[in-house]
Amino acid sequence: MELELKKLPALLPDMRLGKVHCGRWAALCQELHIARYPLFAVFKLGGGHEIHHGRETAHDVANFARDSSAAPNVRVLAPPEFPDLIHGSHGSGAWLVDFYAPWCPPCLRLLPELRKASRHFDSAINFGTIDCTIHASLCRQHNIRSYPTTILYNNTEKQQFHGDHTATSLVDFLQDILNPTVVKLTEQSFYSSVGKKSPDELWMVDFFASWCGSCQQLAPEWRKLAKMVSSMANIHIGAVDCEAEVSLCMQQGVRSYPTIRLYPLGGQGLSTIAIFSGFQRDAQSLRQWLFSFIPSSVEELTPDSFEHKVLNTDEPWLVDFYAPWCGHCVVFAPEFQIIAQKLEGRVLAGKVNCNTFQYLCHEAGISSYPTVMLYYGDNRQYQGDEIPSQSANHIIAHTERVLSQHQQKHQQSQLLHDEF
């Protein structure tokens, strides 16, 4: 161990290094809840510290020290300060707390991901860790039954994280909390919004209970769904916590969790309801079901209508060439519908079934599905301007840029023609 310690100054030239003899300084080590020896800890600027749980080689300790020092808002928490922190006393703000055990491999894999996630938030969210092998009574008091358990405490509210143990999933979870796309509905807001919705609005609502495992699995997918349709102003994604809103859920006849209900376009208030009965509750499947209730502005094209409407016209067209057996095409269909809605009035949208019209797709040079082609300008050919993307934002941006450039060239050409 002494040999490993001697390597650390060269590996950590920008850090001050020290040793504490816990036999001589027992009170200090007890205050820091040091339960094993040797133990390495990083004490951070501004207060707080973190403990290393990996191998005790110089290389591993140095990596931990660099990683920890780059995440100043992550620190070990202890029982005396915990109640004030989670209830937001003294302006402590929101805390994401990871309850873990050092013997648990998933816990040790999550800790570095927690540090990575913390760098996205600076002081907006604090990050804390609690070792449940040391603070067992605190973990029992907060009903921690498995490791790792990660909970966001935001003043009087708490929300448990159920996503993948990655920095990306943690960041998505926290950003959804800070900038929610899912509308949290109470009895009052349910009846004032969903209950009084106009025929040109659509609401999709998840009735859930926090103890329900299937509800916990649905939660991150529900947030993804809300993000997917956030650009569509007349579509609202809501959620009702049936533990908090017992009366509302009883009034609405909710008897199992999760219950997903859709209040479609054309219906006034609660007059029309559709209930999701599918087995797949991922965001893509839920979006496909939702879009089955939305009138499409995408026209199904045949060889005749393609030639007449797309090739022999002045109007720009976006065309989705697809095959019904193609999984990517099925997933892309709602995305293309969003594109059509966003470009409505400027670009016409159509789709061609390449299973039915193979010759047309061959003439257009289609070799994979889905393929999106933009048709604009004069003297159009079957093979248009291919857009190699399945992202709505990218396709919209590309289309707007190409059409803007085309319009500028047309105007310049017209000016030259007028001069001559």
DSSP 43: E
CB-CB neighbours of 299 under 10 Å: 16
* Helix (H/G/I), strand (E/B), else coil: 49: strand
DSSP 231: T
Say whether 132 is catalytic: no
Say whether 107 is catalytic: no
Decide: 265 and 294 in contact? Cβ < 8 Å. yes
Contacts for 383 with CB less than 8 Å, ≥ 6 apart: 363, 364, 365, 373
Say whether 29 is catalytic: no
Tokens of 256: 């199992």
Candidates 107, 132, 249, 329; catalytic one: 329
Say whether 329 is catalytic: yes
Count the helices and strands in the chain (H runs, E runs).
15, 17
Query: What is the distance between the terminal CA atoms of the chain, rounded to a whole angstrom?
Result: 88
CB-CB neighbours of 347 under 10 Å: 20
**Residue with token string 């358990």:** 149
Instruction: Region of 164 please: left (phi>0), alpha (psi -120 to 50) or beta.
Output: beta
Candidates 107, 215, 242, 354; catalytic one: 215
Catalytic residues: 212, 215, 326, 329
